[in-house]
Structure 1
Amino acid sequence: MAEGEDIQPLVCDNGTGMVKAGFAGDDASRAVFPSIVGRPRHTGVMVGMEHPVLLTEAPLNPKANSEKMTQIMFETFNTPAMYVAIQAVLSLYASGRTTGIVLDSGDGVSHTVPIYEGYALPHAILRLDLAGTRSLHIALDFEQELETSKTSSSIEKSYELRDGQCDVDIRKDLYGNIVLSGGTTMFPGIADRMSEEITALAPSSVKIKVVAPPERKYSVWIGGSILVSQSTFQQMWIAKAEYDESDPSIVYRKCF
């Protein structure tokens, strides 16, 4: 981006169920709409001022996907600059932290992402295809199933977690900074329930803190807005000129 330009960057959080988009520096996204395929409004012609764009992506997104997204942004939409950030990292930023573990549960998938000093730890990330409507069970006869649950484990489901994957030296920091993010974490009482169950499993000497910001449904977008608004971020953009001199793999050299 040219020096002296004062053009507000766009922040776009592409979720499974909803897209949240708006300008960096705003307290909330200006547009929230379902993740569906649309159609051009101006027959492929860019109307209005061009803006740099921050895009979000899920943890462990295949390299080919990130590179294709970068290629589309520069070659199809001709964005002047772009950056790609992991959704869970942005959620952590929104809570005012750079170290912690994020449970990001959206409409279609959940991730637990340990983050240390702003960097996700890929080897310890867990993806769970359980979120949104997939996490619900609709009882045909509530009273009967309530009684059944007291005497039988037939309706229980087990999920294998990656226990012990994080370095011993940072576990104390992670236990004390467990951050909830995404629409599926909006259930009342979920923070208290998690705190109680994690406390029962964790070492007695460790302090457990589960953070559930009231605006966590939009934490990813808010974190993106905060990140891009920092003066130090300006040197992190992938500029169009840099892309032209390289190839789509530049997204990995500059963003991850």
Structure 2
Amino acid sequence: MNSPIVIDSKPDYTRAGLSSGDTPTVVFPTNSVTSKAPMDAYGMVTNWDGMKDVLSHTFKQLGVDPSQHSIIITEPPLNSEVNREKMTQIFFETFKVSGFYLIMRELLALYDGGNLNGTVINFGENGSCLVIVPCYQGSPFTHAIIQYSLKENKINDQEVANIADRVYASIFRCDSDVRHSLYSNIILTGSSSMYTGISTKLRDRVAALAPPNATVKIVEANEPENAAWRGGDKMAPLLNENGSWITKQEYQQYGAKIVHDKCFQ
């Protein structure tokens, strides 16, 4: 079996590579291969022809025939059922892949850090937005996900306070018995490295809001822009072992709706 391919395609950059490669071997501006942006600021696909162009370019740059590989591709939080099914359809019908798996990029960033519990703060690469995703045992609390638009693409003290308020609000929406785990592993990913000193400021602000007995720990992902891709790289062998891929046979039997049963969100 050929190595699976991991693709993390976001509004600004697409990163891809064969599994077990440690780092993505193909990185390019997502909008460089299409005349109209394929996604909105949060990564929701809005232009499917453009998305197909991005994927075709990805496989061309990798020098692979996608029909000979299984594919992991990231999706944004709160992705619509229609979009999830459309992505599944494209990979099986346009690119003829042998296996497919769709997963939230924030979950992969958490998995990259070696933990299944925590709160992921993903800063958009263009500096205009962020997403807060609390997770427990590898599953997100979907009702507690918060998307937030940043002002002026910069993080001052007032902005840090706003982010801290939203982190607190997100964790507070989760079950009380898991909040300690969510406070103790807050991961900064995406373009967070562009904001010098944010981890210390954010920790102090969140700690001031959290219960007195909560331990607040902020973790900056190593090479945060690659965290989701690395998480997918680590997940690929598990999908092989557990038989968790959506197979071509399953797609032919059940159609695109199989994605909701096999790729949880």
Give the TM-score category using the shorter length: 0.7 to 0.9
Q: Indicate the structure whose relative CO is greater, using CA pairs within 8 Å and at least 6 residues apart.
A: 1
- Aligned to 1:244, the other structure's residue is in SS state helix
Deviation per CA, 1:148-205, whole angstroms, max 9, x where unpaired? x9xxx9x999677345211110000111011111014432211111111111111221
Corresponding position of 2:234: 226
Give how far 1:233 is off. Answer: 4.6
Is 1:91 the counterpart of 2:99 in the alignment? no
Instruction: Tell me if 1:21 matches 2:16.
Output: yes
Please state if 1:215 is matched with 2:218.
no
> Are positions 1:55 and 2:73 aligned together?
yes
Where do 5+ consecutive residues of structure 1 fail to align? 1-5, 138-145
Counterpart Cα distance in 1 of 2:116 and 2:194: 22
Q: 1:158 to 1:219 in 2, by over 3 A?
A: closer
Decide which structure has greater helix share: 2
Question: Which residue of structure 1 aligns with residue 4 of structure 2?
Answer: 9
Q: CA deviation at 1:129?
A: 2.8
- Residues 156, 71 of structure 1: alpha-carbon distance in 2 compared, 3 angstrom cutoff: closer
Q: 1:157 to 1:167 in 2, by over 3 A?
A: closer
How far residue 229 of structure 1 moved from its aligned partner, in angstroms, is 2.4
Contact 1:179 1:210 in 2 (8 A): yes
Q: Percent identity?
A: 33
Cα distance, 1:121 vs structure 2: 0.8
Compute the RMSD of aligned alpha carbons.
2.8
Return the letter of the residue paired with 1:129.
S
Deviates more, 1:206-215 or 1:84-93: 206-215
User: How do 1:6-155 residues align onto structure 2 when only pairs under 5 Å count?
Assistant: 6-36=1-31, 37-38=33-34, 48=65, 50-107=68-125, 108-130=128-150, 134-136=152-154
Mapped partners of 2:160, 2:177: distance in 1: 34
Report the Cα distance in structure 1 between the residues aligned to 2:11 and 2:69, rounded to whole angstroms. 24
Say if 2:263 is the partner of 1:255: yes
Partner Cα distance (1:189, 1:217) in 2: 17
Number of residue pairs matched? 233
SS in 1 for 2:243: helix
Aligned to 2:49: none
- In the alignment, the residues of structure 1 paired with residue 258 and residue 100 of structure 2 have an alpha-carbon distance, to the nearest angstrom, of 11
Amino acid at match of 2:232: G
Q: Contact conserved, 1:105 with 1:185, CA < 8 A, in 2?
A: no
Q: Distance in 2 between matches of 1:7 and 1:221?
A: 18
Pair 1:190 & 2:190 matched: no
For structure 2, the residue ranges without an aligned partner over 5 or more in a row are 35-52
Moved over 6 A (4+): 40-43
The CA deviation string for residues 8-39 of structure 1, in whole angstroms up to 9 with x for no partner, is 00000011100010011121111111112356
Deviations 1:110-158 (A, max 9, x none): 1100100000110101111338xx5238xxxxxxxx9xx9xxx9x9996
Tell me the TM-score normalized by structure 2.
0.79
Contact 1:103 1:112 in 2 (8 A): yes
Name the amino acid aligned to 2:191: G
Looking at structure 1, the residues matched to 234 and 18 of structure 2 have their Cα atoms a distance apart, in angstroms, of 10
Q: Distance in 1 between matches of 2:205 and 2:228?
A: 26
Which of 221, 240, 252 aligns to 1:244? It is 252
On the 8 A contact 1:228/1:234 being kept in 2, the answer is: no
Which residue number corresponds to residue 41 of structure 2? none
Separation in structure 2 between the aligned mates of residue 13 and residue 198 of structure 1, nearest angstrom: 29
TM-score by length of 1: 0.82
- Do the aligned partners of residues 191 and 174 (structure 1) sit closer, same or farther apart at CA in structure 2, a change above 3 Å counting? same
